[in-house]
Amino acid sequence: VSHFLEHLLFKGSQKYPNAQAIAEAVDAVGGYNNAYTGEDITSFYIKVPSRHGALAVDILCDMIQNPILDAVEIDRER
């Protein structure tokens, strides 16, 4: 379930409505984002130059707190 949600959270959020919006926001500041799921942890991260740290936190928080969880994307991931 954690791995399933890991994939879904990168599909879009309230402020960043689709995967492309998330990727473009990170790419625009020279950043990189990814996630992984281990046996007892799921980790989401965005690596950006330090001056864009607030943006990275904003994106991650919105992905986790306000995911879109679109039915079509849920079926696609399933």
What secondary structure letter does DSSP report for 50? G
Is there a catalytic annotation at residue 39?
A: no
Q: Which two tokens stand for residue 42?
A: 């799921």
Catalytic residue among 6, 24, 73, 77: 6
Instruction: Locate the DSSP E strands across the chain.
Output: 32-37, 42-47
Report how far residue 32's alpha carbon sits from residue 54's, in angstroms, rounded to the nearest whole number: 14
Q: Mind telling me the catalytic residues?
A: 6
